[in-house]
Structure 1
């Protein structure tokens, strides 16, 4: 199983981080989690390419998680691909239909399957479970596991840190978690490293490696400081994600 970080940035571009996007691969199966600005270009640089990804799973509908969706639609059509599945929280179907109403010439270019997630689902060869996070709009965290068996990757989506969310990721080989700001930023709807460290330490969960993502410009140059703050509270394996990082994920 392979995880590639296509975009580890936020709604404020830095020039070297795309917005949110992650590619999960297991054999011939591939799933794109979120599709923010810059993600399509990053996907084109992978061996899989946008031609090889026919399923997108959205954590929520903020612009920095969906803004490359219509770009992906057009790119797949121009490349001769015929279909695309897009799934996400309630309202995902309406979101895509509204995009197509703005870009009318894209109507009926692809055979679209639109799914509002309301329980466990099977997508692109993966079993997907969800739980709602604590964010400024409805947002889902996900557990993604190959349908044929194998390791689990968990994604927090955008969220404040809280133990129940960490426990949702129990047993995951990799947990990709929002850590948008350093401790001296007063923020809601996203965690700081101290808040995340407390949630990780306070949860009854056995986790593999934790990767920090959704990084605002405020975090640049402060990674060691942030890891130290988190490490004062949680002694697990925590690292910063970077655009283009691609890792093999094995069973814990």
Structure 2
């Protein structure tokens, strides 16, 4: 399985990071998780391209996670790729339908499959997905994603405060990408700081591979070493910052 961070930024642009988007690929299919601003351009720079991604999985519906959705739909239509599945928390169907109501000329252009997730597991684009509701300002899902044919698991936190149950949900994941939006001196809710994330990682009963910090606001720029040091005071595992364009082959823990 291959994982590529397409966008590791958040709602305030940094000038160097696209908003949220992660690409997972096996020989059997490709899955795009979230589609914020700038993600379509990042996707176009991959070998797979937007033509090769016919399934999108949303963590939630904030703009920095969905704002390239309509752009993706038009690009696929113009490229002659008309099949597209978009899945996510309840309300995903309504979200996409409302986007298309704004752009009437796009209606009926695509063969859309829209899925509001309510079952404990769902199979999408050759991946088996499990979900857990996070602690955020709107309903948001974290996901465990495992190739249906077998292989390592990747876990993505979505947007969330840090809490041990979320870390335990990722137990056994070879890669766990977790929101770490701000350094410790920013008073914030609905997102973690390095110290709060480190405490959750330490308190959880979970065996994790590498942890990547993502969903990074401009406040974090130039402070990565400081943030890693703060987190390291609580948790001694392998933690790194995600970067746009970082791509890796994922192997089991």
TM > 0.5 fold call: yes
Equivalent residue number for residue 15 of structure 1: 15
TM-score normalized by structure 1?
1.00
Cα pair 2:28 2:125 within 8 Å, conserved: no
Q: Give, in angstroms, the shift of residue 159 of structure 1.
A: 0.1
| Whole-angstrom distance in 1 between the partners of 2:117 and 2:175 | 22
Q: Give, in angstroms, the shift of residue 82 of structure 1.
A: 1.6
Superposed, 1:164-203 pairs within 5 Å as: 164-203=165-204
Q: Deviations over 1:32-82 (max 9, x none)?
A: 000000000000000000000000000000000000000000000000112
User: What secondary structure sits across from 1:176 in the alignment?
Assistant: strand
Equivalent residue number for residue 149 of structure 1: 150
Structure 1 position 135 matched with structure 2 position 136: yes
Q: Give, in angstroms, the shift of residue 28 of structure 1.
A: 3.2
| Whole-angstrom distance in 1 between the partners of 2:4 and 2:37 | 16
| Whole-angstrom distance in 1 between the partners of 2:108 and 2:247 | 34
Superposed, 1:42-191 pairs within 5 Å as: 42-119=42-119, 120-191=121-192
Equivalent residue number for residue 241 of structure 2: 240
User: What secondary structure sits across from 2:145 in the alignment?
Assistant: strand
TM-score normalized by structure 2?
0.99
Q: Deviations over 1:148-205 (max 9, x none)?
A: 0000000000000000000000000000000000000000000000000000000000
| Whole-angstrom distance in 1 between the partners of 2:137 and 2:63 | 13
RMSD between superposed Cα atoms in Å: 0.4
| Whole-angstrom distance in 1 between the partners of 2:44 and 2:158 | 23
| Whole-angstrom distance in 2 between the partners of 1:82 and 1:139 | 28
Q: Give, in angstroms, the shift of residue 96 of structure 1.
A: 0.1
Q: Give, in angstroms, the shift of residue 27 of structure 1.
A: 1.1
- Segments of 5+ residues of structure 2 without an aligned counterpart are none
Cα pair 2:6 2:20 within 8 Å, conserved: yes
Aligned residue pairs total 252
Q: Deviations over 1:122-164 (max 9, x none)?
A: 0011000000000000000000000000000000000000000
| Whole-angstrom distance in 2 between the partners of 1:117 and 1:205 | 26
